[in-house]
Chains A and B, each alone.
Chain A
Amino acid sequence: MNLAQALSVVIPLLQDALVVHANGFISRESFNLEDRLGNFYMIGSMGLASSIALGVALSKPERRVVVFDGDGNVLMNMGSLALIGAQQPRNLVHLVFDNEVYGSTGNQPTISSRVALDEVARASGYVETRRAEDADQLRGAAQDLLVRDGPSFLLIKIEPDRQERHIGRITHEPQHIVRRFMEAIHQDV
C-alpha cells in the first residue's frame, strides 16, 4: 500500500470531518484525490499539522478533527503528541502515514523504522493507539476511530513511491484555503 492507496481508503470514511494536512506529498496527494472544503492544506511549517489540528479541536469540541500527518512531521514536533495526550481532546483523530522517508525531498530515510511512533503516542496519553499494515486493517481501524472518543492515533505503515512521481502542487492560494476551511468549520452539521 502506498500513500495514494492509503488515502483512497480513508477519504471516503471522513464524512464532515475537518482534516488538517501535513505539508509535502500528504497535502498534494490528498488534494489531487479529492479536494474537500473541510481540508486545510499546510504548504510549509513542517511539523505543525498536529498543533494546528489541536487548536481547532479544542476550540470546536463538537466537530470531528482529523490530522493527516507523516513520520517526518511527527518526528519534528514530538512535543505535540505530549500536549495532545495532556489535553485529551476527545474529537481528535491523528492518522500518520509512515513511509519511513522524507518523500517530497527525495526519499531520504527518517528514523521511524527504529522508533515506534504508536508507542510514543500511547506513552503520551492517547486513549486509542493502533497500527495498520494493509488496506483492510486500515479500513477497519479508521472506521472505528472516526466514531470513537479519542484522542486516537493510527500508525499506517506504507511503502514509499520508489519511482519519481509528478504530483501536482496545491493550486489554491493559502488565504483561499483559510476562507474555505473557516466556512466549513462554521457550517452547522
Chain B
Amino acid sequence: MVSGPQFVQHLRNAGFDFFTGVPCSLVKSIIATLEERGGYIAETREDAAVGLAAGAYLAGKQPVVIMQNSGLGVCLNALSSLSLIYALPCLLLITWRGYQGKDAPEHIIMGDILPELLSTLKIPYRVLEEHTLEDAIVWAASTLKQTSRPTALVLPPGVAA
C-alpha cells in the first residue's frame, strides 16, 4: 500500500499545490499528511470544495478536491454548472466505497454507478492501483491541463494506507 506521505509527495511532484475536501476513511493517512504539513482546507461540503477549488484555480493554483464517492452526488450541479462550463479544472480524488458491491448499504448504489456517472459527466478518470499510482497522478495532471476539465482519480480500498 502507498503511504500518505508518498501519495502526497506524488501529488506535489505533479504540481498540485492547493488541497481541500471532505474526508473518507480510505484517505485517512493522505489527509493526516496534508494536515500535518499545513494548508489543507477542511471543507463543509463537497460542492463547496469544488467552488473553493475553482477560486484557487482562478488565482493560479492547481487544486485537488478529496471526497468519498457519496460526495460526487453532492457535486453534480457544481461540476455541471461551474467547473465544466467555465473550464475550471481540478483533480478530484474520489474514494470508491461500495467497491464490487461489498460495503454498507448506503454505499452500494453509488459504488455501482461511479464509473458510469463520471463517464456521463464526461469527466476523464482512472482507477488507482498501487503499482501504477504515480503514472496515474502524472496522467491526471497533464489531462486536466490539456482538457481544462476536472479529472478524477478513483481510489478503491486497499491502495493507500
Contacts and interface: CB of A to CB of B under 8 A. Distances in A.
B85 A58 contact: no
Contacts of B1: none
Interface in A105-138: none
Interface of A is mostly: helix
A48 B82 contact: yes
A45 B78 contact: yes
A54 B55 CA distance: 7
Contact of A55 (B45, B51, B85, B87): B51
Nearest to B20: A55
- Main SS at interface, chain B: helix
B48 A80 contact: yes
Interface stretch (B30-38, B57-65, B104-112, B129-137): B57-65
Interface in B85-122: 85-88
A40 interface: yes
Nearest to A177: B86
Interface stretch (A143-151, A152-160, A181-189): A181-189
Contacts, number: 104
A55 B56 contact: yes
A185 B43 contact: no
Contacts of A101: none
A45 B59 contact: no
Contacts of B55: 20, 51-59
A174 interface: yes
B86 A186 contact: no
B58 A185 contact: yes
Interface string B42-55: 01110111111111
B42 to A, nearest CB: 8
Given A53-B55, A59-B59, A80-B48, A178 B88 contact: yes
Contacts of A44: 77, 80-82, 85
B87 to A, nearest CB: 5
A148 B93 CA distance: 37
Interface of B: 18, 41, 43-45, 47-61, 63, 77-78, 80-82, 85-88
5 contacts: A52-B55, A53-B55, A59-B55, A80-B48, A83-B41
